[in-house]
Structure 1
Amino acid sequence: MRLFLLLSFNVLTLLDAFTDVSDRQALLEFKSQISQGKRDVLYSWNNSLHVCNWKGVTCGRKHKRVTQLHLPGLQLGGVISPSIGNLSFLISLNISRNSFGGTIPDEVGNLFRLEHLDMNFNLIEGEIPASLSNCSRLLELQFSSNLLGGGVPSELWSLTKLVTLDLYGNNLKGKLPDSLGNLTCLRELGFGGNNIDGRVPDNIVRLNRMVYLDLSDNNFLGFFPPPVYNLSSLYILNIFRNSFSGSLRPDFGNLLPNLQGLYMGRNYFTGAIPTTFSNISNLQKLGMEFNNLTGSIPPSFGKLRNLELLSLHSNSLGSGSFGDLEFFGALTNCTKLEILEAGRNRLGGDLPTSIGNMSRELNYLSLDTNFITGSIPHEIGNLVSLQSLWLEKNLLSGPLPTSLGKLLGLMKLSLYSNRISKHIPPYVGNLSRLESLYLYDNYFDGIVPPTLGNCSHLLELWIGDNMLNGTIPREIMQISPLLILSMPRNSFTGSLPEEVGRLENLVTLSLEDNKLSGQLPRTLGTCLSMEVIYLQGNSFDGAIPDIRGLVAIKEIDLSNNDLFGVIPGYLANFSMLQYLNLSVNNFEGRVPTEGNFQNASLVAVFGNKDLCGGIRELRLKRCSVKEPPMGTKHSSLSKKFVIGVSVGIALLFLLFTTSFFLLWFRKRKKTLETNNNPTPFTLGAFHENISYGDLQNATDGFSPNNLIGSGSFGTVFKALLPPENKVVAVKVLNMEKRGAMKSFMAECGSLKDIRHRNLVKLLTACASIDFHGDEFRALIYEFMPNGSLDMWLHPEEVEETRRPSRTLTLLERLNIVIDVASVLDYLHVHCHEPIAHCDLKPSNVLLDDDLTAHVSDFGLARLLLKFDQDSFFNQLSSAGVRGTIGYAAPEYGVGGKPSIYGDVYSFGVLVLEMFTGKRPTNELFGGNFTLQSYTMSALPERVLDIADKSSLHGGLGIGFRIAECLTLVLEVGLRCCDESPSNRLVASEAAKELISIREKFFKARRTARR
């Protein structure tokens, strides 16, 4: 017996040693693949310790084999070694929250005892290996927040014991199969943040143990899936950011009674919010933002006593009138409410005093972009936990209540674009935790309170576009964290305080269009983080201070001041500079020609009469004398030389004047004799010669009978040009109109080198003198027999003799917007230089014989980032406003530069007008109720109510899905004219989507010209 026990002991010892060597070798190989420098974390993995004592390793009691490997959050990198598959007794593997890359080895499928696998939060690529189906005991499979791609292998659905499947935040694609319903033990399913599309499979109803379902950030579509309604055990349902549509069932709250979190924002849900939500008694978080919900906000929300978050932002809730805010009274029962978002809706009426009775836990309140009127109630001061208050873009009026000074925890206060008046109250300085203050575009007057300097955490101060006056308080310059100081378009006087140099973190300084004066402080050069300096439109004088240390600077505008001296040479060396405007000052001397000054699209220096030199594109006078740099020993000699030359010129002045007048009279006489055949004006690609006399004859003396239309800078006539009597359109510029010559040159410059089938072709140009001896300018275009799009959309505004004989069909309108989108794509991307049209509207879209659209009128067009004298006056003068009211992008109204995003905005408005039949300036619209909000509020249920009825004729055929087609087209229009430029589609995307819509609905009905 003793011998038997001894032999057994020796065998077990040998076996234990063998298994120890096997697991040890596998782990050491795993460690060898970890990035150099990260291995030190596993210092205990050495031969002096038994493998079961290594960090993160747990062994079984019986066989001493490795059963758990837990290494989460150790900042490990490298790749996962295939040797991991040799740990054949492994039950749990957790390497989450590291930086492992590479792929998941197929050998992981050898771990047939594995129950828990967690690789969340790494950098793992490739596809999920199908071999994982061999791990039939798996209970948890977690690969969230990696870089996995491809589809989910079908073999994975055979893991019927799975309780948790988390694949959130990868690049997985494909569809969810019906076999998902085989995972009947599943309680947590995370598929969010991928590229899964299609519909939710009906078999999901079999997952009746599910408590957590996350399908967010995918491409699921269709109506809200009925099977989900049967998952009555759900605690969390997250379908945020998908393409679900349709209305919510009225009994929604009765079907999912256990929900604690419901996230369904950024979809296409429509209709009213079901009142049965109040039956979900444990609901804590409800997110329904960015949908198309309509109706009122149910007061029944007040029954949700556990509600912490209610997000209804960006819908069409409310009617824009009294009574829309009654829900505030009910929400006073929600004593745990922390976040309420109801901005960007159609809520109207006065803010009720009951707002002050809401939860004392409320820290975030958003009611921006509505139709809220009246003053801010005094009771708002009761919300003592408030950290963020967003009330911008409403119709609020009156002064700020003193009770706002009680909100000592306030960090963000946004009240811009209202009608709030009186002084900025001194108590604002009591809000010592304030980080962002947005008060611009109101009616504040008086001085800026010095107490603002007490807001020592302030990062952004926006108080422009008010009626403020006085000097800029020096106390503001003590707020060292300040990043943005924006105070434009007020009436500030005095100088820019020297203390501005203390703002070492300042990125943007915007003080344009005030009444500031004095010299720019030398300390401006110590604001080393500065990227934008806007000081134009003031009365600053003196020289530019030394700002050579501002190496991060991107934009400088000092135009329209009284600055003088030479232009500092170091401005040429700012590597990040994108815009430099020194125009309309008193600078003198030679303009540099190196570095940034080699780019005329970046630099503007016109309006400085004593500047010379520079590159040719700046169009400055030549420097008559090679002047040495200011301050050298030769500068005085140069000045004496210049004086001598000037005296000589003065002595010859009388002789020169006499000669000039003699020559002028001769030239005048010659001009009058040759008026019928003056020298033609041609530009580059224009080769046809044409005179004023030719055009006068071709238009029958510019007869009103040949008048086609008129615009901002001239009139357009139909003409027959000899010898073939070619029909053309002649645009005659009104040279008495300010900006006409600018328009003429812009149009010639834009069109002379570009060609596209959807651009009106400019045949030639004429620059001459008429029979009265006055300047004459005209542009000759190919003739468009079907006139402008505007006359087709609004025939009732056109003379009866010129009205179209019929209306445009839905297909014809779709073809036209595709034509316009394609030409914008060409101008913005595929042209030799990107061009912004700047005035896109129906009257500038002309139609040929077969109703193909041609974009015209480039009088306001701009080569992007080109800043010259013309573009400067385009910014300052009313004649040069970029575009037309209603069509011009909102950023143009606050000094924004021409951009492709501005064109896309105008295009979006044009799309909405074409399919609704309403101009953006229709008397129906006013305040915050615009063509955009009018359209958005009707989609999709009432789309036929707002559609231009004349477009619904034309033999579309039975069963044609008019409403769906219109909805898709109008959604493209809305995305193009989003208020934020960064959210707008680019022209190529818009064209692609519109073509897709046409293919979907008109497969057999495309016109012959397509």
Structure 2
Amino acid sequence: MKIIAIGQFLFVLMACSVVQMISNSLYGNETDRLSLLEFKKAIRLDPQQALMSWNESTYFCSWEGVLCRMRSPHRVISLNLTNRGLVGQISPSLGNLTFLRHLHLPINSFTGEIPPSLGHLHHLQTLYLSNNSLQGMIPNLANCSNLTVLELYRNNLVGQFPEDLPHRLQRIQLSYNNLTGHIPASLSNISTLNQLLCVSNNFIGNIPDEFAMFPVLQTLYVGGNKIGGGFPEAIFNLSTLLRINIAFSDLSGKISPNLGNSLPNLELLQLDYNFFQGNIPYSLVNASNLYELDISSNNFTGAIPNSIGKLFKLSWLNLEFNELEARSKQDWGFMISLANCTELEILSIAYNHLEGRVPNSLGNLSVHLLHLFLGNNKLSGGFPSGIKNLPNLVYLGLEANQFTGVVPNWLGSLNGLQGIDFDKNKFTGFIPASFANLSQLGFLYLGSNKFSDQIPPSLGKLQMLQVLSIFDNNLHGSIPEEIFSIPSIMRIELSFNNLDGQLHADIGKAKQLTKIQLSSNKIFGEIPNTLGDCESLESIEFDSNLFSGNIPASVGLISGLKVINFSHNNLTGPIPSSLGNLSYLEQLDLSFNHLSGEIPEKGIFKNGTALRIEGNNELCGGPPDLHLRTCSIMASVSSKHKKSIILKVIIPVVSILSLIIAITIVFLSRRKLKKQSLLLPSFGIEFPKVSFNELARATESFSTSNLIGRGRFSSVYLGKLIQDNNVVAVKVFSLETRGAHKSFIAECNALRNVRHRNLVPSLTACSSIDSNGNDFKALVYKFMPQGDLHKLLYSTIDDDETSNLNLIRLAKRISIVVDVSDALEYLHHSNQGTIVHCDLKPSNILLDDNMVAHVGDFGLARFKIDPSTSLGDSNSISSLAIKGTIGYVAPECAVGGQVSTASDVYSFGVILLEIFIRRRPTDDMFQDGLTIAKYAEINFPDRILEIVDPQLQEELVLCQETPITAKEKGVHCLRSMLNIGLCCTKPTPSERISMQEAAAKLHGIKDAYLTE
């Protein structure tokens, strides 16, 4: 019996044990599942639907990114959601995944703090949270005793470097945060540490002496902090080091001559932007694995070691901005030895004290050399012939030396060149015509030399040229008209030459031109009126020439102008009043000409310190501060007499004629008079009002094959007016649709007095009857051949009709945004009264041949005629409810609020964000309260590259500009642009900036991006 009892007892005990094991297994599994679901709840946005599989119908170990261990119980050991665009916070529930070994959440948009509960994960081995927007301090991870990798770089973390870290760590990456304090000496207790990276924080003090105890450290990146003192002595004991970055610090003193002997395994050494002095250690050649050596921007002296060529693997050698010397043939021996560096791609010895001729051994350098910088030394002799043997050069800098002789014609055979800088030398002879073969050339600097003859017209073949700078030479002849047809040209600097001839009218084709300097030449004739077509211009310097005739009034249409200098010429006539409309103009010099008449009184003419008009004896009037004589009474009376004639005679006559025409139309149509009064725009004598029959002929009887657009109240047809042979867009209103007649009236009223280069030009109107005796109303516009912005943004790359999205690279998108802002600023803030567009959207933004944007469709426009009212507020313009377009309508208008300039600002902000993100505001991802504005705000500022149009991402990745990368410049520009969009899309009208402020900021951003 006892045996039976014992057996029963053992059976029961085993059964209880099994039940307990099953219970523990089920409990553990359920804990992990619920913890993951809590993590999912904290995600506000999942644009790639990475968590779609995280549902009840799928076993949690099969959820995307989740990995469980094979044996039972199936506990989560890895969570990997790298680069999924997730937005939200990291849930503390992850601390319940007690078996978790790997947590990888980098390249997302997580915000908030790192949960302290992660410090309870005893099995955790790797923690990757980099490239997010995490804040707060780094939690205590001392209990994560198995942690080997800690990556938290590119966040917004604050506080001090964690003192107590797990002793099994192999890699610590904390770069690009806001950490402060000292780098702790206690790190030396982590004997397994292989890589320590903490660049670009705010650490102070010195590198601890205790670091000499690291047994296996290979990577030490601590640059971009406020570390001072001399070269860290502790480093000399770390013979295992492969990579050192202590750049952009406050280190000084001399470097030990035994550096290369102590660190023979070095592969990368970055000491740039410090205050080191003395000679370059000769022992560096013993670090035979060095592939990158950058000691630029220090105070090193003496000669470059001749033995440097023993660094056979060197690909990057940057010695610029030091005090290095080369005066003898022996000093130049380093150039001979560099021939052994067969992988060399970057060589800069610029901004030193190298003298004499460049040895021919330059031609023995690696054929892989891409960048060669020799500028700002004391080099002399003829053009370095060895350059001919460097076929892959991308940038060649010889500026600020004493080179003489001619620039050889063979230079045009280096067809990979993108940048040439020969400024400030003594080169003579002709500019080689072979430069026309450099199809990739973007920058050509030849200023301050002694080039003679003419500017080769063949330079017009350089279709990627942005800067042409040949100032201060001996050039003569006229400026080739071909230069102005280069589509990318942004700066033309030809001052201080002997150029003559007339300035060609083709200058108006240079739509991207921001600066043109022609000072101190002998150019004569009139300034072309087409100069006003150079809509991007910021600086015009035509002083000290022989220009005659009047100052073109069209110059006053270039809204971004900051500098105008027409002084010391033979200009005559009055000063155009349009110059007073240039709100950004900072300097206007019209001195020493033969100008006459009354000085305008607005704009820059009120600023005596920014205006120079002396030497024009026939000028009069103007603001009192100018102290000019008053204009004659006769002129004043004559002016008043003309105004009186206009007011008393011309206007009444025109009114009577208009009344007669209106009565005739009413009589012919046999219809009752409408209650609304129709005021057609003043289209001018060039385009008289057209009849229904003329428009029918122009559009082939309004054929569907000519239909190019359709809206709520109208259809748009492509047409060709017979009498003028002009291609036009004919907007025919569907009068049977309720509201169409009001839309026609509104658009006519809007177009009656407005004129701006960024509004769709209206040509004429037709208010008549059709062939069936029905009312017919149409407006005729200038045809915009590039279509609308919506079509351009969302057409496929293979769509031949829109020539693909290369038309809207970053620079062009910036220009389009600035164009639209200028149009809205004019509508909101011009002296014609305030006009609110009310239906701003990409399909109402049209593009001409030169991709200049024009705002159109004023069918919902509302008016406020008092221009003195504050335009940045939300005061009502009209009590009529806006109907607009979903996605672009301001929140206050969507709920029946009143229309205001601020509602246009909101629509503009949405369009701005859409242009760079390339997602419609009605995209499926924007729901449950998420708008395109909120989406941008969530990712702003650090994650913007992950949400912008992939084409822009690719464009920035391909940038290779130095010394400040074009990618950094582009990212900064994108960040600034999206910030304006966010300022325009604030929830309440009072929070939004005005279009005046928005346009000013956008011009500043454009200026910074498109200039150096």
Corresponding position: 1:297 with 2:316: no
CA distance in 2, matches of 1:39, 1:397: 61
String of CA shifts for 1:227-246, please: whole Å, max 9, x gaps: 10111111111111112222
TM-score by length of 1: 0.60
Q: Which of the residues 19, 25, 47 maps onto 2:56?
A: 47
CA distance in 1, matches of 2:50, 2:203: 38
Seen in structure 2, the aligned counterparts of structure 1 residues 91 and 378 have a Cα distance that, compared at 3 Å, is same
Partner of 2:577: 569
Q: Which of the residues 579, 599, 621 maps onto 1:613?
A: 621
Seen in structure 2, the aligned counterparts of structure 1 residues 27 and 422 have a Cα distance that, compared at 3 Å, is same
Give matches, 1:362-377, under 5 Å: 362-377=369-384
Amino acid at match of 1:595: G
CA distance in 1, matches of 2:41, 2:518: 60
- Unaligned runs of 5+ residues in structure 2 are 1-9, 647-1012
CA contact (8 A) 2:46 2:87 kept: no
1:604 shift after superposition: 3.0
CA distance in 1, matches of 2:251, 2:97: 45
Seen in structure 2, the aligned counterparts of structure 1 residues 278 and 592 have a Cα distance that, compared at 3 Å, is same
CA contact (8 A) 2:410 2:434 kept: no
Corresponding position: 1:504 with 2:511: yes
CA distance in 1, matches of 2:13, 2:483: 91
Partner of 2:597: 589
Q: Which of the residues 397, 421, 433 maps onto 1:414?
A: 421
Partner of 1:924: none
String of CA shifts for 1:44-88, please: whole Å, max 9, x gaps: 333332222222222222332322222222233333333332333
String of CA shifts for 1:875-932, please: whole Å, max 9, x gaps: xxxxxxxxxxxxxxxxxxxxxxxxxxxxxxxxxxxxxxxxxxxxxxxxxxxxxxxxxx
CA contact (8 A) 1:31 1:39 kept: no
Give matches, 1:779-858, under 5 Å: none
CA contact (8 A) 1:224 1:244 kept: yes
String of CA shifts for 1:847-872, please: whole Å, max 9, x gaps: xxxxxxxxxxxxxxxxxxxxxxxxxx
Q: Which of the residues 560, 563, 585 maps onto 2:568?
A: 560
Partner of 1:386: 393
Corresponding position: 1:90 with 2:97: no
Corresponding position: 1:141 with 2:164: no
Seen in structure 2, the aligned counterparts of structure 1 residues 533 and 65 have a Cα distance that, compared at 3 Å, is farther
Amino acid at match of 1:117: L
Amino acid at match of 2:125: E
Partner of 2:520: 513
SS in 2 for 1:634: helix
CA contact (8 A) 1:377 1:401 kept: no
Corresponding position: 1:164 with 2:164: no
1:99 shift after superposition: 2.6
Give matches, 1:52-131, under 5 Å: 52-62=61-71, 63-129=73-139, 131=140
Partner of 2:607: 599
Give matches, 1:131-530, under 5 Å: 131-156=140-165, 159-320=166-327, 323-530=330-537
Partner of 2:871: none
Seen in structure 2, the aligned counterparts of structure 1 residues 494 and 245 have a Cα distance that, compared at 3 Å, is same
CA contact (8 A) 1:563 1:586 kept: yes
Seen in structure 2, the aligned counterparts of structure 1 residues 383 and 319 have a Cα distance that, compared at 3 Å, is closer
Partner of 2:684: none
Corresponding position: 1:578 with 2:573: no
Seen in structure 2, the aligned counterparts of structure 1 residues 464 and 200 have a Cα distance that, compared at 3 Å, is same
CA distance in 1, matches of 2:532, 2:465: 22
String of CA shifts for 1:386-427, please: whole Å, max 9, x gaps: 111111111111111233122111111111111111111111
SS in 2 for 1:420: strand
SS in 2 for 1:344: coil
CA contact (8 A) 1:486 1:511 kept: yes
Corresponding position: 1:547 with 2:576: no
String of CA shifts for 1:23-64, please: whole Å, max 9, x gaps: 343333333333446474433333332222222222222332
CA distance in 2, matches of 1:548, 1:64: 75
1:197 shift after superposition: 1.8
CA distance in 2, matches of 1:308, 1:630: 77
Seen in structure 2, the aligned counterparts of structure 1 residues 305 and 524 have a Cα distance that, compared at 3 Å, is same
CA distance in 2, matches of 1:29, 1:587: 77
String of CA shifts for 1:940-994, please: whole Å, max 9, x gaps: xxxxxxxxxxxxxxxxxxxxxxxxxxxxxxxxxxxxxxxxxxxxxxxxxxxxxxx
SS in 2 for 1:528: coil
SS in 2 for 1:318: strand
CA contact (8 A) 2:504 2:528 kept: yes
Amino acid at match of 2:136: G
Amino acid at match of 1:616: P
| CA-based RMSD | 2.7
Seen in structure 2, the aligned counterparts of structure 1 residues 124 and 542 have a Cα distance that, compared at 3 Å, is farther
String of CA shifts for 1:128-174, please: whole Å, max 9, x gaps: 22x22222221111111222222113223xx2111000111122221
Amino acid at match of 1:465: D
CA contact (8 A) 2:345 2:370 kept: yes
CA distance in 1, matches of 2:50, 2:584: 42
Seen in structure 2, the aligned counterparts of structure 1 residues 270 and 627 have a Cα distance that, compared at 3 Å, is same
String of CA shifts for 1:748-797, please: whole Å, max 9, x gaps: xxxxxxxxxxxxxxxxxxxxxxxxxxxxxxxxxxxxxxxxxxxxxxxxxx
CA distance in 2, matches of 1:21, 1:624: 96
CA distance in 2, matches of 1:424, 1:198: 54
CA contact (8 A) 1:287 1:309 kept: yes
SS in 1 for 2:608: coil
Partner of 2:902: none
- Unaligned runs of 5+ residues in structure 1 are 639-1010
1:624 shift after superposition: 3.7
CA distance in 1, matches of 2:11, 2:551: 102
1:186 shift after superposition: 0.4
Seen in structure 2, the aligned counterparts of structure 1 residues 8 and 521 have a Cα distance that, compared at 3 Å, is farther
CA distance in 1, matches of 2:428, 2:538: 32
Seen in structure 2, the aligned counterparts of structure 1 residues 461 and 630 have a Cα distance that, compared at 3 Å, is farther
CA contact (8 A) 1:558 1:583 kept: yes
CA distance in 2, matches of 1:68, 1:289: 44
1:321 shift after superposition: 5.5
String of CA shifts for 1:811-838, please: whole Å, max 9, x gaps: xxxxxxxxxxxxxxxxxxxxxxxxxxxx
SS in 2 for 1:405: helix
Seen in structure 2, the aligned counterparts of structure 1 residues 26 and 370 have a Cα distance that, compared at 3 Å, is same
CA distance in 2, matches of 1:631, 1:482: 43
CA distance in 2, matches of 1:65, 1:433: 58
SS in 2 for 1:31: helix
CA contact (8 A) 1:398 1:422 kept: yes
1:9 shift after superposition: 8.5
String of CA shifts for 1:318-370, please: whole Å, max 9, x gaps: 15555432311111111111111101111111011111111101111111111
String of CA shifts for 1:478-521, please: whole Å, max 9, x gaps: 21111111111111111222222222211111112211122222
Amino acid at match of 1:76: L
CA distance in 2, matches of 1:165, 1:626: 85
SS in 2 for 1:42: coil
Alignment coverage as a number of residue pairs:
635
1:631 shift after superposition: 9.8
